[in-house]
A and B are shown apart, each in its own frame.
Chain A
Amino acid sequence: MLTKRIIACLDVRGGRVVKGVQFVDIVDAGDPAELAHRHAAAGADEIVLLDITATHEGRGTLLDTVRRAAAKLFVPFTVGGGIRTAEDAAAVFNAGADKVSINSSAIARPELIGKIGASFGAQAVIVAIDARRGAKGVEDAEVYVSGGRKPTGLRVVEWAREAESRGAGEILLTSMDTDGMRDGFDCELTAAVSEAVQIPVIASGGAGSAAHFVDVFGRGKADAALAASIFHFGVTSSRDLKAQLAQAGVSVRLPC
């Protein structure tokens, strides 16, 4: 049976892993390569490395960090942040990434989705969407870019559909309303996107307990869920989390 994936996310800034609360407060959590290996060994199904400052400070992705992290990583590895062109993506793939996550640049130039897919396969292109609910809630939830700094006027579900039609392999949906709060994922928003597209949807933002994951895999119809701060400070490991999910009847990769 296809299992629900637990993805460990490393938000990187200046070569260090950090984690913000609602995209702003930042706490240092360690070396990205070391943490990537630790998460994989602790049972994470996948690793995502996001260079969270790349877009607005105009830096390229930290290829050296990617190379070090990928060296002995034998689970899927996604890299995002600062990927503006197909050439940027190629450099990240050559450094050892299996997938790239694009966000601001996909909105600025939606054809980039298909362009990267043409060389590396659709499965290698994740379109990341940073979303915030609107006045009417989920219905008018809006897409934000530049690390959550700029509203775009795009509706979340419509953009997810367009990303799929342009060849995205997966959608990484982050709720800015719930991010870093450890109070649960935005299940309604995740379900709305998951029902609108055929491709897998990764839920992100708000993980705080195993019950939150059970909720987003059930009610939220997510195919995968991503967490960062819940793991870094030894709150729990992916393996512990999965054992709890299995108990609650969620299909997960165990033993791992």
Chain B
Amino acid sequence: MIAVIDYKAGNLTSVVKALRYILGDEQTTREVVVTQSPDVVRGADKVVLPGVGHFQATQLLEDLGLTEAMRESIAKGAWFLGICVGLQWLFEGSTEAEGTKGLGAFSGMCEHFPATYEGADLKSPHVGWNSLEQIRPDSRLLRGVADGAFVYFTHSWRAPVVQETAAVTNYGGAFTAALERENVMGVQFHPEKSANVGLRVLRNFVEL
């Protein structure tokens, strides 16, 4: 069972729709469940944490006991995919909401795009199709995705490049577009809105 966590941070319709599309006929045996229940999360073999919007919204995860449930799930080997704010939450936190802690699975803080870069103004949010670079050859999530492949982003805060970064994207310097350490994965872009490249990433996750 794939648990998609609903913590009232934007629209889950597209993520769920894409996962069900990929499962196709397997939907009868492999459910996609939208949930706020820690017990459902503990029983899932895969967990997806989507979310667009404010980092503050992740506070609800703690309040509902979902942070602890996800921590336990990850520890016992469930596959985890954070999307957008879901990726940022895997870090220690974000300057967007200083009082709200992330999971801390990866070190560093998420920060706002700089107002200028190399002497020129930098618009934010970063919205649109940008390319994945320096894809780690051993990445299971990005298997079959070529360097330079385009995916769709929409965000104003970004995660730093760390040892576990699986691909970077350049906009006002490099940031983490995807990261992966064993069963814990995240993407800053929206695979559910990134045409064939995005579907490939989701398929890789579903088939793990």
Interface of A toward B, CB cutoff 8 Å? 1-5, 40, 45, 70-72, 74-76, 93-94, 96, 98, 119-124, 169-170, 198-200, 223-224, 253, 256
Contact = CB atoms under 8 A, between A and B. Distances in A.
B175 interface: no
Main secondary structure of the interface of A (DSSP, over half): loop
B11 A120 contact: yes
A76 B13 CA distance: 12
Contact of A74 (B11, B52, B129, B198): B198
Contacts of A123: 52-53, 125, 127, 154-155
Contacts, number: 91
B127 A253 contact: no
24 contacts: A2-B126, A3-B130, A4-B128, A45-B128, A74-B192, A74-B193, A74-B194, A74-B196, A75-B152, A93-B11, A93-B13, A94-B13, A96-B17, A98-B11, A120-B10, A121-B10, A121-B52, A121-B53, A121-B54, A123-B154, A198-B124, A200-B127, A223-B123, A224-B128
Most chain B CB within 10 A, of A71, A75, A124, A170, is at A75
Contacts of A72: 21
B150 interface: yes
Interface string B123-141: 1111111110000000000
Nearest to B13: A96
Main secondary structure of the interface of B (DSSP, over half): mixed
B40 interface: no
Contacts of A71: 17
Interface residues of B, number: 34
A256 B129 CA distance: 11
B86 to A, nearest CB: 13
B195 interface: yes
Nearest to B202: A74
A239 B89 CA distance: 36
